[in-house]
Amino acid sequence: WKHGGVVGVRGYGAGVIGRHSDSPELFPNVADFHTFRVNQPSGWFYTTKALRQICDVWEKYGSGLTNLHGATGDIILLGTTTPVLQDCFNALTDEAGFDTGGSASGLRTPSACLGPARCEYACIDTLDICNTLTQAFQDELHR
C-alpha cells in the first residue's frame, strides 16, 4: 500500500485519505482503498438512526468495514474507490448531516467523555467544552 496521492472532493480542502495498492494488477478489487473520517458527536452520543445512516452510506459506496473511533476519535470508514468519492461525501454530509474529511496537518478532532450527561460527579461540562472547541477551530482540524 502507498498512502497519499491527491484524492478529494469538491469544495473541501482536506479531502479523504488516499490509499492505493502497489500491485493493482494482482489485486484489482482493492486497487484504490481510500478512507473517510466521520467527525463524532460530543460525548459519542449517537442515535440508532444516525449510525444506520452511516452504515447505509458505507454499504452503498464503500467496503462496509468500519473502525468505531480510531486514533483520531472519529469513525473510520475503510475502503472506497476514487469514482464514488464525491457521491459518498455528499451522502455523508448533505444527507446524513455529518462532518467528514481526510488527512491534513492541524488540530486533532476534539473528543469528550460523557461528563454531566452520565456522571453525577462531573465538575465541568465536558460536552460543552468539546462542542465549543470544535466550533471555534473546525477549519483547522486534522481531517
Q: Predicted confidence band at 33 (pLDDT cuts at 50, 70, 90)?
A: confident
- What is the extent of the structural domain holding 110? 2-140
Rounded Cα distance between 119 and 117, Å, is: 6
Q: What is the pTM of this model?
A: 0.78
User: Which tens digit of pLDDT belongs to each residue from 72-128?
Assistant: 678 889 999 889 988 998 999 889 988 875 555 666 677 888 888 888 899 999 989
Number of domains in the chain: 1
Supply the CATH number for residue 90's domain: 3.30.70.2500
